[in-house]
Chain A
Amino acid sequence: MTKKKMLFLGDEAVAQAAIDAGISGFYAYPGTPSTEIMEYAQGSKTAAERNIHRTWSANEKTAVEAAIGMSYAGKRSMAMMKHVGLNVAMDPFVNSGVTGANGGCIITVADDPSMHSSQDEQDSRILADFALLPILEPSNQQEAYDMVFYGYDLSEKYKTPVFMRLTTRLSHSRANVETRDPRPQNEIKLPEDKRQFVLLPALAKKSYKRTLANQKLLLEESEKAPWNKYIDAPDKSLGIIACGLAYNYLMENFDGKSPYPVVKISQYPAPKCYVEKLARECGKILVLEEGMPMIERQLRGLLDRDVKVIGRMSGEVPRDGELNPNIIAEALGLKETFGAPVPELVAPRPPKLCPGCSHADFYAAFVDAVKNKYGDGHLFGDIGCYTLGALPPFQAVNSCLDMGASITMAKGAADSGIFPACAVIGDSTFTHSGMTGLLDAVIDNANIVVFISDNSTTGMTGGQKSHAEGRLFKIVTGLGVDPAHVRIVVPTKQNHDEMVKVITEEVEYNGVSVIIPQRECMQTLRRKTKAAKK
């Protein structure tokens, strides 16, 4: 075996491992902190030589479906997304637990506890548990790399998709990783049972029983997995369960040697034999897990009386936010260290739209045409850089619920009689989840104005290619919006008055209007100019 040490982000370790483990296709929609998995695959020379599929999907649902399609064909695939992206993909995701897999299939989800770049901090382990999938939760970059190989083997052995959970601090942290010799991709091989992927009720009932029967075997695998372990220690007054990254923060505090017995969990179903032993030997169990109290809740059960459990639910660990070494020191009652406090004069520096951003020129026109005339409260927002329009100086956006919700929330508000009801959505978000909502509006001829603020890229995540590029007018009119009320404008300071006029006209039109302020993202433009110079 060749031993080669590389410096990888957690995301990059996953991508390189998949390439080395014989993947044939990556499928993803960009989302922090998962984006770099696909970006690494796209930049990889080996992936190009091996002709591995690695272009972006329209959204997470299409990504998961395509990954399952490749698994159907007998080849190895991976779908990648951020935690809230999994909500978009829930339908195929949960049902894939019933169909199972053929070629190895890993669904990698990067959670963002503390919401560094997200709208919530849901714990995707809970959703994978719900879908009855085995979960891998690496505690470091090396484990992330090794687990991809293991995950494909597990997936092919039990004919099930495997779930891999990352969190921000692993996805976006770099460390040394030892890589392995690459192995070949699978040949095309259809499933032995040609109805395996057909979820007609009669067939699904059988498949579901198979999935349920697998659970016991998957538990046995967890109990012998190398990254799950029971580490004994003399002081039994406390037992500690540390999941994923929490294990590192724990060991940081004890310099690698805990005085209390520790169960390290990096694969689920949780290794019951170790947890049972810990409960038997220790008077009290502290559960340390990144995200939500999943193991803690399972341990407590409804009756919460057999074993004393402490953690996020009892307040020893904060209920929200990501973990760090200090939080764990406090939970253990260890003496903490602190530096000097932050001087009072240090001012917050929130993110903002870049100088020259096209969204800013759109908002300036919107404020004059709508906010100043009808008051605040008429603009439903969406997810992207332009969500920053909710903050000063514009303070124009009144909602940010989920991808695509701007259009449908505006429609609901218009149905209720609010006037004007406007929506702002980016080009990439529109093709991700906005199109179906616009169709709803067309069918009902809802009185809304939709702004597709088109900067011709997926800007927030670093400028990935947008599926909408060059297609917006055709898509919008194809969905049935009257071409006379699809207005393309160029958002610049010079065009301010013209934009105000167009917005005013379309607000006054009774029906579905789409205004497309269209100008390239400054960051993407800068990168392109730089690349052209080379």
Chain B
Amino acid sequence: MKCDMILAGVGGQGILSIATIFGYAAVESGLYLKQAEVHGMSQRGGDVQSHFRISDKPIWSDLVPMGKADLIISVEPMESLRYLPWLNPETGWLVTNANPFINIGNYPDQEALTAELNKLQRKIVIDGDAIAKEVNNPRGMNMVVAGAASLFVDLDFELIKKGINAIFGSKGEEIVKSNIDAIVAGREFAEKNR
């Protein structure tokens, strides 16, 4: 088993929580893991990415080689496209939130962006914000996207849910439940739309 992922978004959107939850499930399954994060200056509203690798064999590089990623998980549509050079052109999937985060003047035209995403054969474009609202978790967009992406990661979904418990447990049962609802809703969407 091996899954190389690129997590993408804008500083502050919560991509690291996705990695933490998958990471929990990976460690519980006895897998090896390497996850390179971005800290520091670029966190200030800039583009951020994390290389995230899990495998049942020891992993050498902290960085995913170009063209080898099995999955791009993005909480922002334009950011998902920034990492296409890493995505395996034959087998890789791209899972992204549909809603742009616009904090620059030259953000591309929405239609052109959608057209660009539509060119991809293996993709899930999910309205994470709307689905998060539907399950009464308006700040759970990243969990919805994580749920959709979980379909393409060979990890036990029950363990992923347990990961939410481990990470949000200190914030109370209600928060845990609403995040589990979000991740389940995301996964269901991906099942229907893959």
Residues of A whose CB lies within 8 Å of any CB of B are: 5, 7, 9, 32-33, 35-36, 116-117, 169-170, 172-176, 245, 248-249, 251-253, 256, 324-326, 329, 336-343, 345-354, 385, 388, 460-462
A172: B residues at CB distance < 8 A = 36-39
B46 contact set on A, CB distance < 8 A = 349-352
Q: Are B41 and A251 in touch, CB under 8 angstroms?
A: no
Contacting residues, chain A, for B40 (C-beta < 8 A): 32-33, 116-117, 460-461
List residues of chain B with CB under 8 Å of any chain A CB. 10-11, 23, 27, 32-47, 51, 58-63, 65-69, 78-79, 81-82, 84-89, 92, 103-104, 106-109, 112-113, 116
What separation, in Å, do the CA atoms of A343 and B113 have in the docked complex? 9
B106 touches A336 (CB 8 A): no
A350 to B47, CA, bound (A): 7
**B23 in contact with A324 (CB, 8 Å):** no
Residues A252 and B108 in contact in the complex (CB < 8 Å), given A339-B85, A462-B39: no
Q: B85 touching A338 by the CB < 8 A rule?
A: yes
Tell me the minimal C-beta distance from B114 to chain A in angstroms.
Answer: 11
Please give me the residue from chain A that is nearest to B65 by CB atom: A325
| Cα distance, A351 to B45, chains bound together (Å) | 5
A352–B69 Cα distance when bound, in Å, is 29
**Contact yes or no, A339 B39, CB < 8 A:** no
Decide: A252 near B60, CB < 8 A? Known: A337-B65, A341-B84, A351-B11: yes
CB contacts (< 8 Å) of A248 on chain B: these are 60-62
Distance (whole angstroms) from the CB of A240 to the closest CB of chain B = 14
A349 adjacent to B85 (CB under 8 Å): no
Contact B47 A349 (CB under 8 A): yes
Residues of A within 8 A of B42 (CB): 116-117, 351
Distance of A247 from chain B, by nearest CB (Å): 8
Please name the residue on chain B nearest to A347 by beta carbon.
B106
A461 to B59, CA, bound (A): 29
7 A-B contacts (beta carbon < 8 Å) = A339-B86, A340-B85, A345-B108, A349-B104, A351-B11, A352-B44, A352-B46
Partner of A338, one of B11, B60, B67: B67
Chain A nearest CB, measured from B127 CB (Å)? 21
> Can you list the 5 inter-chain pairs with the closest CB atoms, starting with the nearest?
A117-B40, A337-B67, A32-B40, A351-B46, A252-B61
Contact A346-B78, Cβ < 8 Å, known A252-B61, A325-B61: yes
- Is B45's CB under 8 angstroms from A354's CB? yes
Of B45, B66, B113, the contact of A339 (CB 8 Å cutoff): B66
Which of B59, B62, B66 is packed against the most chain A CB atoms within 10 Å? B62
Q: B85 contacts A342, CB within 8 Å?
A: yes
Residue among A7, A116, A169, A329 making CB contact with B65, cutoff 8 Å:
A329
- CA gap between A248 and B107 in the complex, in Å: 37
For the complex, what is the distance from the CA of A340 to the CA of B141, rounded to whole Å?
Answer: 27
Q: Nearest residue in A to B64 (C-beta to C-beta)?
A: A325
A340 and B103 contacting across the interface, CB-CB below 8 Å:
no
List the B residue with the shortest CB-CB distance to A117.
B40
CB distance from B109 to the nearest CB of A (A): 8
- A339 pairs with B33, CB closer than 8 A: no
B84's closest neighbor in chain A, by CB? A340
Q: How far is the CA of A338 from the CA of B113 in the complex (A)?
A: 22
Assess A175 versus B85: contact at CB under 8 Å? Given A324-B63, A352-B44, A460-B41: no
Give min CB distance, A459 to chain B, whole Å: 9
Query: How close is A391's CB to chain B, nearest CB, in angstroms?
Result: 11
CB closest chain-A residue, reference B63: A324
CA distance A252 to B68 in the complex (A): 12
Complex interface: chain A residues within 8 A of B44 (CB): 351-354, 385, 388
Q: How far is the CB of B176 from chain A (nearest CB, A)?
A: 16
Return A417 CB to nearest CB of chain B, in Å: 34
* Pair B104/A175 contact, Cβ less than 8 Å: no
Contact A249 B45 (CB under 8 A): no
CB pair A346–B82 under 8 Å, yes or no, is yes
**A9, B63: Cβ atoms closer than 8 Å:** no
User: Is A256 touching B86 in the complex (CB atoms < 8 A)?
Assistant: no
A9 contact from B37, B65, B85, Cβ within 8 A: B37
> Measured between C-beta atoms, what is the minimum distance from A393 to chain B in Å?
10
CB of B113 within 8 A of CB of A345, answer yes
